[in-house]
Structure 1
Amino acid sequence: MAERLSLDTGFPRLVDNNLRRLRLADHDTVVAQRGDTGPAVLLVHALGLDWRMWEPVMDALADGRRVYAYDIRGHGAAVGSPSPYTMDDTARDLLGVLDGIGVQRAHVVGLSFGGGIAQSAAVLAPERFVSLALLATTDHPFDAFEGRALSGEVDGMAAQVAPSLTRWFTANALAVNSSSVQYARQRVIDGNPTDWAAGWRAFKGLDVQGKLAGIPTLVLAGEADASTTPEIMRGVASRIPGAVYRELPGTPHMQTLERPELVAAALAEFLG
């Protein structure tokens, strides 16, 4: 059941938030919505952040569409949800969100960890997908994932700020210290080490290569992405039959937080 929720979510807040509290199989989360008519688009955020990382693009995408973004388990309103968990658990969460908002089929967009979740859900239930957009993500685990999990547990969340933000943003954005950078920094500092580690360890179990077919797919890379580089993203696209590959100039890993206008335009063109 979805319950209307009045909640001040803090930065970035572009317009009054239309939020619902939603009960999934083993935890509660929140779902934000922009737009009331048209095809459904579900946005899945990156590890360490929350649904608000999509706010810079949601209004643009909501022109003729219903756009939803939710907090994945262990993040935002879902902090402290049961762990450890698997990528299949996150996939079932995504399908549970679709059920909770009354959507049978949706365009699904995932960035980074969110892209792994979207791919896992597409393998589990391809019939629920109208299309798939994969931003700054991977289709296989990285060796670094366990080290990031362990560092969160041993060194604490303050120690994750520098390595995370330098992977996520360009040097210029960090120097300017924009509101988007401040938002991301605060989300990491305020993060729960147990949830942080659980996310990275779930990501280690990503198993989707060679299992995606038949869903129109956009693979959207950032030219300046130091984490999921254009080379990695071209590899992802090459392993999905019919996938469209695009590369955004001057764009780092956190595409929506540094170059939202480019992301919104590319997604709007793909979604039609």
Structure 2
Amino acid sequence: MPPFLAFEDKDPGLSSRVPLVLVHGHPFDRTMWQPQLTEFAAGRRVIAPDLRGYGASPVTPGTVPLSRHARDIADLLDHLGVDTFALAGLSMGGQIVMECHDLLGDRIRGLVLADTFPAAETPEGRRGRAAMAERLLAEGMRGYADEVLEKMVAPYADPEVKAHVHRMMTATSPEGAAAALRGRAERPDYRDLLTRVTVPALVVVGADDTYTPVSDAEAMHAALPDSTLHVIEGAAHLPNLERPEEFNRALAAFLARLDGRP
């Protein structure tokens, strides 16, 4: 049976290095990870799915909780025969990574949490996500994309990066984005889960991120038993695209540590 999700699988063949699984944020697709797919696919298996409702993956209208995204990733990795891996996610993708922690158990060799936060949604936040879901269904993605572009990436970001981010947002299905927003509003609180993570973790954040500020990253770093915090200057919510060289250096050092673990 073919996998539900569209995905990119950079498989170099036999390799002792830990495979890397990349989970994109909202409202993007797997091309968000292009600098990392390019950098790490030489000698390491790198897998980047389009989440349900995004990119080339099918849309499920209504509500898609983070637990459904996590099960989709588990099903994809089972289909691909990937037993153990490092799991990296940004923003909503980071929350999906946290959701995957208990589901995938000791198959996870390390976690990367980029520009994300673990708290449950507030009542105000739930109302806001519900209203945004309705707006996207009524108006489409372009107005929203225009409004938030310079919060997703810094106003001073490279114009090509801005254009890429805007293209991803406007190409996203409004139905898929709305379903994910509704599901994300229902997410649990992951703060206690972080204290139970036994594998190494890397926490990354753009210094100028206003969606998930440095203080959120510092709190996650403090909660995780074994973590490294890397703040990337000159970036907002998408440092992997805004400052890919620095993001990749931090990720490479983390993966090298995982490769050396039994």
- Using structure 2 for the length normalisation, give the TM-score: 0.87
Partner residue, 2:248: 264
Partner residue, 1:185: 166
Partner residue, 1:110: 89
> Is it true that 1:252 corresponds to 2:229 in the alignment?
no
Q: CA deviation at 1:195?
A: 0.9
Partner residue, 1:10: none
Give, in whole Å, the separation in 1 of the partners of 2:30 and 2:163: 16
- Residues 119-178 of structure 1 show CA distances to partners (whole Å, capped at 9, x for unaligned) of 1001222212000000111112451433432331233211111232122111112xx521
- Percent identity, aligned pairs only? 27
Q: How does 1:220-235 map to 2 (within 5 A)?
A: 220-235=204-219
- Residues 65-84 of structure 1 show CA distances to partners (whole Å, capped at 9, x for unaligned) of 21111111101111423542
The one-letter amino acid of 2:18's match is P
Give, in whole Å, the separation in 2 of the partners of 1:28 and 1:63: 24
| Of 10, 14, 32, the match for 2:9 | 32
Partner residue, 1:205: 186
Partner residue, 1:19: none
Give, in whole Å, the separation in 1 of the partners of 2:119 and 2:9: 29
Contact (CA 8 Å) 2:21, 2:47: kept in 1 or not?
yes
Q: CA deviation at 1:259?
A: 0.9
SS at match of 1:257: helix
| Of 91, 98, 104, the match for 1:125 | 104
Give, in whole Å, the separation in 1 of the partners of 2:186 and 2:228: 25
- Using structure 1 for the length normalisation, give the TM-score: 0.84
Seen in structure 2, the aligned counterparts of structure 1 residues 34 and 261 have a Cα distance that, compared at 3 Å, is farther
Give, in whole Å, the separation in 2 of the partners of 1:157 and 1:130: 36
Structure (1 or 2) with the greater strand fraction:
1
State the Cα RMSD in Å. Answer: 1.8
Partner residue, 2:259: none
| Of 236, 242, 255, the match for 2:226 | 242
Kindly indicate whether structure 1 or structure 2 has the higher relative contact order, using CA contacts under 8 Å at least 6 residues apart.
2
- Residues 87-119 of structure 1 show CA distances to partners (whole Å, capped at 9, x for unaligned) of 111111111121121111100110111111111
